[in-house]
């Protein structure tokens, strides 16, 4: 299936059913790994909100949720400059923190977030990302522990991911078609 958003064409990459199955598996692992803890799920807005909502429904352990909003994208490219729009709303001191990302691309935004979280002196920090572009990483990030799907260096939209603010509401994930 192909779709068009603004001036870009996209084709199906992952169907919603595939995404849901992968999220269930991630949640099982998180439930096991944090069985005797009360982690804080730190959602990175705007992209992670759908992923985090579906993930948290599969989490059986006690946990808390909070959000931050940072941005570096302009259109379909990262600007390289990170802007903090909503900062941390709670103390993470001595807490087990799971940063929930929609996608890790260059890793620069995540690196910024990790430094922000580390200043709070948490007990532990792990990253759970729905998508990871390993060939695009510009920094080494050992905290990326839970990954839904590894994808090539392609622009994607849907399931919370957007293009110029559009497409977040799509149930499936689509990749841009090279023109």
Cα–Cα distance, 63 to 33 (Å, whole number): 13
Which two structure tokens, joined as six digits, stand for 6?
Answer: 């603004």
Active site residue 105: yes
| H-run or E-run covering 21 | helix 16-33
H runs (alpha helix) in 35-101? 49-57
Which two structure tokens, joined as six digits, stand for 177?
Answer: 């078609």
Pairing between β-strand 124-132 and β-strand 144-150 as defined by DSSP bridges: parallel
Edge to edge, what strands does the sheet with 77-86 contain? 77-86, 64-74, 40-45, 96-104, 124-132, 144-150
Q: Active-site residue among 54, 102, 105, 162?
A: 105
Rg (CA), the chain: 16
Task: Enumerate the active-site residues.
Answer: 105
């Amino acid at each position: 299936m192909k779709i068009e958003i603004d001036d870009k064409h996209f084709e199906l990459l992952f169907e919603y059913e595939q995404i849901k199955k992968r999220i269930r598996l991630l949640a099982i692992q998180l439930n096991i790994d944090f069985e005797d803890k009360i982690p804080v799920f730190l959602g990175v807005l705007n992209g992670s909100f759908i992923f985090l909502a579906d993930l948290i429904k599969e989490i059986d352990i006690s946990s808390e949720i909070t959000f931050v909003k940072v941005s570096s994208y302009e259109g379909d490219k990262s600007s390289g400059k990170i802007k903090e729009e909503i900062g941390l709303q709670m103390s993470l001191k001595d807490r087990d923190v799971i940063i929930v990302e929609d996608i890790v691309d260059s890793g620069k935004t995540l690196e910024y977030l990790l430094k922000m979280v580390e200043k709070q002196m948490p007990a532990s920090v792990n990253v759970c990302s729905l998508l990871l572009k390993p060939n695009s990483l510009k920094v080494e990030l050992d905290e990326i522990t839970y990954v839904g799907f590894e994808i090539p260096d392609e622009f994607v939209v849907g399931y919370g991911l957007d293009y110029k603010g559009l497409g977040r509401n799509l149930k499936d994930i689509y990749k841009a078609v090279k023109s």
